Amino acid sequence: MSSTVELTKENFDQTVTENEFVLIDFWASWCGPCRMFAPVYEKAAQANPDLVFAKVDTEAQPELAQAFDIQSIPTLMIVRDQVAVFAQPGALPEAALADVIGQARKLDMDEVRKSIAAQQSGTQGE
């Protein structure tokens, strides 16, 4: 039984809105590195049952891949409180994925939002 959620354009917004921490794997069935990353991602999903692990099949959901400007796959994205806090192409090894999840868990989302607001207003936060 997979512990990951298949994201589509129909359920994407609801999934990201209703969950404060969502990891998204952008992948395709023809992609060798995607297939190698899949068991690592699945294992991380089982090790972190409090987080939502989702997958976007870029072949079946080209609009989502385009909306996030996905240039290469696999790409891992982490969304916290509806803010993308991490996006990186490439298949991560198990230890690196665990590290990224740990760092994302520690983020102070108030600080992240302040930083984004500062960037959007054209000023740099102190």
Would residue 55 show up in a list of annotated catalytic residues for this protein?
no
**34 labelled catalytic:** yes
Q: Which of 7, 16, 24, 34 is catalytic?
A: 34
The per-residue DSSP string of the chain comes to ---EEE--TTTHHHHHHH-SEEEEEEE-TT-HHHHHHHHHHHHHHHH-TTSEEEEEETTT-HHHHHHTT--SSSEEEEEETTEEEEEEESPPPHHHHHHHHHHHHH--HHHHHHHHHHHHHT----
Catalytic residue among 16, 23, 31, 45: 31
Peptide bond preceding 62 in cis form (omega within 30 of 0): no
**Which residues have a catalytic role annotated?**
31, 34
